[in-house]
Amino acid sequence: MKITELKSLRDCDHATYKKLLLNNQEKILAQKKEENIFISALAVQALEQKIEAQREMSPAEYPLVGIPFAVKDNIDVRGFETTAACPAFAYTPQRSAFVVQLLEAAGAICIGKTNMDQFATGLVGTRSPYGTTKNYFNPHYIPGGSSSGSASAVTAGYVPFSLGTDTAGSGRIPAAFQSLVGIKPTKGVLSTTGLVAACRSLDCISIFATDLQDAGTVLQLTSRYDKEDVYSRKKPPCVYEGGSKIAVPLDSNLKFFGNRAYEEAYRNLLERMRQCGYHIQEIDFTPMVEAATLLYNGPWVAERYHAVGEFIQQHPDKVFL
């Protein structure tokens, strides 16, 4: 499922388009407990009302009119609870997060909130009281986290794009595990107003899609200045213009831990990219590794604990370990 495909279908036949989305939502609700992708999802009747309310909306004015998307459940969406995968923590927001508001203003419809590693702490997608999210790319593999449900919702074909978060890899890792495009924008490009903090000075809202064109479309529509976010950047909207240069770590930076099959797959990928015309440029990855070390063994550990530490102290039996 891609944005362009859905837009074309909607333009041709509204009734067929509505039936497709409603059938899709019925499937989500029917398989919700088996797949553990969604924590909450719109009722079919509620989705039908939203689609009908958009019948006369022009794609020229609303570029994502009628396009369904999913949102990680640590990002506020009006009409849904925000749980951060912790039922005892749940609250009902009065408004959607800034980025969600921009997507809704463009006509997109949030069809549900997705599963995640609790409080966005974890990179595996298995640390949730709502169960482990199904990996549709390979059901024998874990989905990756912490934005597991947002990745799986796209891989399963329920939505053409979704929102996750990325502090230490929570968006890029499940994207890699499920053969998706995962974008972690530079801090401040996308507002984090309406996001449950994990490590506020590093948190970013991330984007999942099946291809760069869709991911770029979403990034362009959501990269707006937000006066309520102290990290938000006063800059022109992001525009994805494509490119043919790809940065990879120096060979001396690479660690495969004895997994020769993985190393061979990596080498083959680089060769395929060269054959496709991409220029591969090696960079020293050491400074990035050192920065990551600070996140797990430095001052940012305290910031992460500050985000939910008081709740954990007051509700130790409600936290998923």
Active site positions, annotated: 72, 146, 170
Give helix then strand counts, H and E, for the chain. Answer: 10, 8
Q: Which residues contact 298 (CB under 8 A, 6 or more apart)?
A: none
- Helix or strand or coil: residue 111? strand
Burial of 149 (0-12, 13-18, 19+ CB in 10 A): buried
CA dist 292 and 119 (Å) reads 19
CA dist 66 and 21 (Å) reads 9
Q: How far does Cα 63 stand from its chain's mean position?
A: 20
CA dist 117 and 127 (Å) reads 5
Let me know: does 135 contact 178? Beta carbons within 8 Å.
yes
